[in-house]
Amino acid sequence: DEPFLPAIPDRLGGLIVVAPAEGISNLQLWRAVEWLQKAGPGLRRTAATGVAVFATVSRLNGRFGFEPTRPLTDPMSGGLAGLTKSAAREWPELACKAFDLADGWPAPGEAARAVVDELLRVGPIEIGLSAQGRCTPSVVDEGMASLGGGSAPVQPGDLVVVSGGARGVTAEAALAMAHAWRPRLAILGRSPEPTREPEWLSGLATEAQIKQALIARSPVGTVPRAIDSQCKQIVAQREVAAALSKLRATGVSLTYHAVDVRDLATVRPLISQLQREFGPVRGLIHGAGVLADGRIEDKTREQFERVFETKVSGLRNLLGAVLPDDLRVLGLFSSYTARYGRVGQCDYAIANEALNKLSRQFSIEHPQTRVVSFNWGPWDGGMVTGGLRQLFASEGVGLIPLAEGAELLVREFTQNVSRPVELLVIGETDAARAARRHQQAERDAESVSHQTIRDAAVSSELNQSSLNGSGSNIDLARVPTSGPAYQVGSSNVLLAGPSPARPYGKPPAPGTSSSWVFGEIGQATTPETSETKPSFERLLDVAQHPFLESHVIGGKAVLPVAMIVEWLAHGAIHRNPGLELHGFDDLRIFQGVRIDRQTSAALRVLAAKPTRSEGSFHAKVQLVGASHEREIVHAGGIAILSPGYPTAPAATLRVTPRGYSLDVATAYATRLFHGPQLFGIAAVEACSADGIVVDARTAPAPWAWMKEPLRSTWLADPLALDAALQAIILWSQELRGEPCLPCSIAKYRQYRRTFPREGVRIVVQITHATDHAIRCDIEFVDREGLLVARMDGCESVADASLMAAFQKRHLD
């Protein structure tokens, strides 16, 4: 029972956990956590000054289960990816990779070589490997409006079993099914069935009142924890009683059973009794789950088993007690934690990823059953406090309204059995909702002058809105059963499925690239491959990079200079591990990258080995793409790398304190082209002939901007950097009456690993201006007045004709 854990050195370069070929057990999944706990300190010490790798290898089908023609070899091993993604959240300094290995390699050595080849490649965390090539899950938005009507999967009076009790999400789901299908419901929960409350609780409505009464009735010396526990039990009983009352009010037949789904000896006879009395189980909703939050290094086996067994053993016990061929619907309540990982929830991520893959296996084996694994985001319930709401919003995750989430569940079960199995459902944040409404208002205003042309399109949008419901707040995400990801609808549904496999190291075909010159800034050159070597490649499209919808000029999405800086930094660090980004010299934009909604651009970052100079390392980097079947350089410069960060000099730039003529909202609406995700400027503090000062936000986590980010944290900060470039545009519009676009940065220096989460103050000092050129220096300062980063010699091209392109801020 005890693991073999050898002595691990103080500094460790890597840990790779491989699922056994004969299948992984619950205990072995816990052992993976133990291995990481023991190896973690050594890995993190190495990562502080170099590169350290943590990787897991599952044995699903080489495509993370996302292909119905390939059965899953070991669904349970899918849980390993949940550990990897959580480790990437908790320890972002590590290079974390989750591999899924297919069967059928010509020789074992080839599979091993494929894993080794990918270990230090910059790119997505999840990589599927097979003899045919590599693939990665991708996320695609889909609207709730795309869910068409369908017939009820169960008949009135059919038996539907729901685990997870009669509270919160499961209660809302049961209520929605009761209204829609009129089934016979059997609710399984850990809490005992409510009984009549004692008289002394009569009239006590709030937790404070209940606690006060409990204190008065308790012996002297009762600890507060005991009072809290009793209060929670009373509140839980009330919630269960209220939910059962609502369910019975619908007129459906209902029974409630207090049972622990982990206990097969209790579950099996209970389900058998229900089937004898009410007929076969036609629907099974497994909503039971518990949390035991704690960082990886603090997890205990007891916590892991409680979390994992409730989800996975509970499902197995329930499925083992029913006749699978009788089921018409199987719904599993997984979590968005499984898809993205989460700090403090590695056990929950492991359990829910295993649940996802077990659902896919069941769907393959029982094609007559509509199987859905709902990877729910947080719901807008009583447990979500204001602080949690803000935390989720900072991660780009909104809350799911109870009624709409339950409606989605019911509608999803009416769809064809060939629909995707894994569904990610995330609520819309308040900021995103406001931005969406603002954009819709702009589109509606534009449509007035084009009524005859756009009438049909506008009607379609209005019809979708009515299907979504008034002010629908649902974002969905599904995993296609095979093939590339797709996009349907206007509400945001995230679908994950493998992009087409391609041989190792082979770039995309030249025909997949679409890029155009914008403004003819600089002169495109050919890549100097004798110096620079490929660091990573990326297919740029709007579906996988939704932030591009907020950076549209002339109807085309344009890759922001700030993101070019970020990706060039990735390329430099990847080719030169163990160093930090200190900045750039002579960064130039030669040819912009522009795409529309239907096209993509195949991009590569090239980086050279560095030369040493005065304690830092200088490495040439280039962003290259294809145009008319030839490679061109879009941007390039010299990355400045160092073993650590030097002490920041004092901030010195000053601007004459004069007011700005517009508020920020009006400035974004009339003077800038940027959309909601790039609303980086929070306030304009001053604007005068010698410069402009703004307060700026810093960027959310990379996954909030793109579906498969290169890293879990930014190397620079694309929102803060873009806000500085936006500030130059505002200055040019205010003082010169014309917009501008950046073309080069002579020098950029960064003095810490991350920009402050609370934002920065940006001071732009104009140093030179001609009819068509603006040069300035820029400082990024924290709330204490300390210098975070600085740009010198930032040049922009000014042209009044750009205004027409700025006004075409929506994708063609």
**DSSP per-residue codes, 396-449:** T-BPBPHHHHHHHHHHHHTS-TTS-SEEEEEEPPHHHHHHHHHHHHHHHHHHGG
Q: What band does 576 get if pLDDT is binned at 50, 70 and 90?
A: confident
- Please indicate, yes or no, whether residues 92 and 164 belong to a single structural domain of this protein: no
- Please indicate, yes or no, whether residues 117 and 88 belong to a single structural domain of this protein: yes
Residue 97 has pLDDT above 60, yes or no: yes
Residue 289 has pLDDT above 60, yes or no: yes
What is the per-residue burial (b if ≥16 Cβ within 10 Å, else e) of 500-521?
ebeeeeebbeeeebbbeebbeb
Domain that includes residue 119, residue range: 14-137
Q: What band does 221 get if pLDDT is binned at 50, 70 and 90?
A: confident
CA distance 620 to 531: 8
Residue 241, helix vs strand vs coil: helix
Q: Check residue 449 and give its pLDDT.
A: 30
Residue 508 covered by a domain: no
Mean pLDDT of 477-485: 31
Spell out the residues 6+ positions from residue 779 whose beta carbon is closer than 8 angstroms to its own: 651, 652, 653, 762, 763, 787, 789, 790
Q: Check residue 467 and give its pLDDT.
A: 22
- 15 within 8 A of 41, measured Cβ to Cβ: no
DSSP 608: P
Cα–Cα nearest to 278, from 157, 175, 369, 165 = 157
What is the per-residue burial (b if ≥16 Cβ within 10 Å, else e) of 380-389?
bbeeeeeeeb
The token pair at 269 is 């006879």
- Please indicate, yes or no, whether residues 125 and 166 belong to a single structural domain of this protein: no
Q: Check residue 144 and give its pLDDT.
A: 61
Residue 536 covered by a domain: no
Mean pLDDT of 755-761: 96
Helix axes 346-365, 301-308, angle to 10 degrees: 30
Q: What angle do CA 126, 131, 134 make, to 5 degrees?
A: 30
- Please indicate, yes or no, whether residues 95 and 244 belong to a single structural domain of this protein: no
Q: For the segment 422-456, what is each residue's pLDDT rounded down to a tens digit? A: 998 888 776 666 666 655 665 554 433 322 222 22
Cα–Cα nearest to 542, from 588, 504, 492, 471 = 492
Mean pLDDT of 563-582: 91
- 107 or 384, which is more confident? 107
Query: How far, in whole angstroms, is CA 356 from its chain's centroid?
Result: 17
Residue 378 covered by a domain: yes
**DSSP per-residue codes, 496-507:** EEEPPPB-TTPP
- 639 or 106, which is more confident? 639
Considering 86, 105, 137, which residue would you say is the last residue of a domain? 137
| Torsion sign, CA atoms 333, 335, 339, 341 | negative
- Please indicate, yes or no, whether residues 81 and 168 belong to a single structural domain of this protein: no
Q: What band does 351 get if pLDDT is binned at 50, 70 and 90?
A: very high
Spell out the residues 6+ positions from residue 429 whose beta carbon is closer than 8 angstroms to its own: 392, 393, 396, 397, 398
- 753 within 8 A of 643, measured Cβ to Cβ: no
Spell out the residues 6+ positions from residue 474 whose beta carbon is closer than 8 angstroms to its own: 144, 400, 401, 404, 405, 408, 425, 427, 428, 468, 491, 493
Maximal C-alpha separation, the chain: 87
- Please indicate, yes or no, whether residues 774 and 748 belong to a single structural domain of this protein: yes
Residue 631 covered by a domain: no
CA distance 40 to 166: 40
- Please indicate, yes or no, whether residues 480 and 562 belong to a single structural domain of this protein: no
CA distance 474 to 143: 8
- Please indicate, yes or no, whether residues 153 and 123 belong to a single structural domain of this protein: no
What total number of domains does the chain contain? Answer: 3
CA distance 763 to 787: 11
DSSP 49: H
The token pair at 357 is 């893959």
- 775 within 8 A of 766, measured Cβ to Cβ: yes
CA distance 233 to 684: 51
CA distance 86 to 12: 20
Considering 90, 112, 137, which residue would you say is the last residue of a domain? 137
Half-sphere exposure (Cβ direction) of 314: Cα atoms closer than 13 Å: 30
Q: Check residue 143 and give its pLDDT.
A: 61
Spell out the residues 6+ positions from residue 105 whose beta carbon is closer than 8 angstroms to its own: 111, 130, 131
Mean pLDDT of 87-92: 93
Q: Check residue 78 and give its pLDDT.
A: 98
Considering 108, 137, 166, which residue would you say is the last residue of a domain? 137
- 63 within 8 A of 498, measured Cβ to Cβ: yes
Residue 423 covered by a domain: yes
- Please indicate, yes or no, whether residues 674 and 570 belong to a single structural domain of this protein: yes
- 163 within 8 A of 173, measured Cβ to Cβ: no
Site of tokens 């930032």: 794
Residue 609 covered by a domain: no
- 771 within 8 A of 800, measured Cβ to Cβ: no
- 412 within 8 A of 423, measured Cβ to Cβ: yes
CATH of the domain at 473: 3.40.50.720
Q: What band does 119 get if pLDDT is binned at 50, 70 and 90?
A: confident
Pick from 335-349, 355-369, 500-514: least confident: 500-514
Residue 147, helix vs strand vs coil: coil
Q: What angle do CA 73, 75, 78 make, to 5 degrees?
A: 115
Q: What are phi and psi of 368, to 5 degrees?
A: -80, -10
Residue 285 covered by a domain: yes
How many helices and strands, by DSSP H and E, does the chain display? 19, 30
- 584 within 8 A of 517, measured Cβ to Cβ: no
CATH of the domain at 694: 3.10.129.110
- 575 within 8 A of 509, measured Cβ to Cβ: no
Residue 528 covered by a domain: no
Spell out the residues 6+ positions from residue 209 whose beta carbon is closer than 8 angstroms to its own: none
Residue 217 has pLDDT above 50, yes or no: yes
CA distance 735 to 689: 7
Q: What are phi and psi of 47, to 5 degrees?
A: -65, -25
Residue 391, helix vs strand vs coil: helix
Site of tokens 């930090």: 580
DSSP 674: B
- Please indicate, yes or no, whether residues 242 and 355 belong to a single structural domain of this protein: yes
- Please indicate, yes or no, whether residues 273 and 298 belong to a single structural domain of this protein: yes
Q: For the segment 15-68, what is each residue's pLDDT rounded down to a tens digit? A: 999 999 989 999 999 999 999 999 999 999 998 887 899 999 999 999 999 887
- Please indicate, yes or no, whether residues 723 and 801 belong to a single structural domain of this protein: yes
The token pair at 591 is 């040819």
**CA distance from start to end of the chain:** 61
CA distance 194 to 189: 11
Mean pLDDT of 164-178: 93
Pick from 1-5, 242-246, 511-515, 686-690: least confident: 511-515
CA distance 226 to 232: 10
Mean pLDDT of 171-191: 96
